[in-house]
Amino acid sequence: MSGQEGNAAAPADVVGRHRKLVARTALISGFTALSRVLGYGREALTAYLFGDKSAVYDAFVTAWRVPNLFRRLLGEGAVSTALQSSMTEADADHGDEAGRALMWESLRLAAWILLALTVVVMGGVALMPDLMPLTGWRWLGEDAAAMRDLTVQVTPYVIVICLAGLAGGALAVRGRFAAASAGPGLMNVIAIVTLVLVGLRFGWQGLSPADGEAGRERHLDMARWFSWGLLASGVAQLALLVPEMRAAKLFGPVRDLARYRSEAWNVLRTSLPLALGAAVYQVNVLVDSFMANNLLEVGGASTYYYANRIQQLPLALVATAATSAVFPAMKALAHQRSFGELRRLHEQTHLAIAFLALPASVGLFVLATPVTSVLLEHGEFSARGVERTADAIQMLCLALLPGGAVGLLSRAYFALGDFKTPVRVSIVALVLNVVLNFTFVVGFGLDTGGLALATALVSWLNVAMLTPGLARKLREGAGGEVPGLASFGSRAARMVACSGACGLAAWAAHRLATPALGETLGLFVAIACGIGTYIIAVQLAGCPEWVTVRDRIVARLRRSS
């Protein structure tokens, strides 16, 4: 930050801003839970309207992966992480005005880059041939024209949602998470309203073979309306951040903004290795979607997308929320070279994630079919669609815990200034994922479950490759051994045993309750029994994570009374 020498502003307390990590994680998790519930409502409506055998909706969900790739890569991923790191250092060394100036200059540069990227993507997709060169595969799926049309329409979403992600990252540095966490919920509300309007405008009936080209055109018009609604939701999410940005003093006068240009370019340069690492994972997701669209029967892309969406609830609710909450604190601790505290925070967060992710994984595995049926088997979504979606969910459950761990491990590397190691590991994971996809789908003839199994295996390999290197980097940074939590292994083992009891109780309750109560009530009874059993098990096992949660609940109730 040489361009800021002479700035007399007082350094900010970048660690003190992040003291209430448990409350912050709970806030993000609460908004995430609300968003996911609304998201399930959105997916239930799309399943009702489009069903599980629509080539147009296969094209839409694959097209939607494109802006989401760049959203995760730029808005919520590499550039946002680099901006948070640089803003933390600017605030700590030169005061809040320096961080504010860096944010605005970074947003300005990002806006121009995003605009250029959007134009390039839209032009490239419009000119893509229907068949992949050399192989002759239909890489744009069964309905290539719809794929091109819808990709061009949804790509501008990249601009507004990435700017919203960067602004949300800046708010996180200032210890504010509410508006950014509420954004996805607002998106889902707007999407649900749009889908209701689509149903009223085009009707709620599905396609039949007799509909022919007219039916295909109706589905394409419905998808276009849905795309416009999603674009509107991106603008709304950006607007939602403005009041909290004012409260965080991210609006205000900045002296000589141009002097921060080199620092803003440095943010973008720093983000390049992060972008490559994030791109590997997101390209992985995009490759899975394209392979589902090309190698599986019609509806494969849609059902695999629904499986991902259902699996994302526990992942986003627990792992993503916790990682987002603790990264600014990890970066601040690394900046102050408090490596012992950094390791303890990192390992405690892993255990906190596992405390909720393990029972969620086991419970969702045993209840995959009834969950899918209750959520999606309505309107045009058939029993075959339920089967394909549930198969993928069960395999994705095996990826839930390592998926969360990879995100936290990568952020720990980034906090320590190592942007290369996660990239190298991610590249290996991408290559292996493609190989396993072909092996399971083409070689063994598996359906959506084959793609999901490849994802799970690669996620565990990713954890195995990242974990030893992080311990080594902490030792090197501290100049000696950095002790971790002595009870880490025993605490994890108790959680595994309690999660097994949770899954067994949920399975048995569903088998007993469903014949008498029906599918929906039987599912709720099974979930309640699983949760109740887990609470009893962790209480008997004395899991520290449960003791912390229990004591906080009791203390809050006492204060309320």
Predicted pLDDT at 3: 42
Which is higher by pLDDT, 88 or 76? Answer: 88
Contact 131, 175 (CB under 8 A): no
Q: Is 217 part of any domain?
A: yes
pTM: 0.75
Q: Is 57 part of any domain?
A: yes
CA angle 267, 271, 277 (to 5 degrees): 170
- The total of structural domains in the chain comes to 1
Residue by residue, what is the 3-state secondary structure of 430-493? Answer: HHHHHHHHHHHHHHCCCCHHHHHHHHHHHHHHHHHHHHHHHHHHHHHHHCCCCCCCCCHHHHHH
| Burial per residue of 61-82, b for 16 or more beta-carbon CB atoms within 10 angstroms, e otherwise | bbbbbbbbbbbbbbbbbbbbbb
Contact 1, 155 (CB under 8 A): no
Predicted pLDDT at 143: 78
Predicted pLDDT at 447: 92
What is the band of 1 on the pLDDT scale with cuts at 50, 70, 90?
very low
Give the Cα separation of 273 and 280 in Å (integer). 11
Two structure tokens written together for 140: 């744009």
Q: Is 387 part of any domain?
A: yes
Contact 163, 75 (CB under 8 A): yes
pLDDT tens-place string over residues 393-403: 999 999 888 88
What is the band of 317 on the pLDDT scale with cuts at 50, 70, 90?
low
Q: Is 226 part of any domain?
A: yes
What is the band of 135 on the pLDDT scale with cuts at 50, 70, 90?
low
Give the Cα separation of 375 and 306 in Å (integer). 10
Q: Is 507 part of any domain?
A: no
Residue 316 has pLDDT above 80, yes or no: no
Q: Is 135 part of any domain?
A: yes
What value does the mean pLDDT take over residues 80-104? 76
Predicted pLDDT at 364: 95
Eight-class DSSP state of 211: G
Note the Cα 166 to chain centre separation in Å.
15
Q: Is 513 part of any domain?
A: no
What is the band of 279 on the pLDDT scale with cuts at 50, 70, 90?
low
Note the Cα 112 to chain centre separation in Å.
25
Range of the domain at 430: 24-250+259-478
Residue 419 has pLDDT above 80, yes or no: no
What is the band of 503 on the pLDDT scale with cuts at 50, 70, 90?
very high
Q: Is 10 part of any domain?
A: no
Contact 64, 100 (CB under 8 A): no
Three-state SS for 525?
A: helix
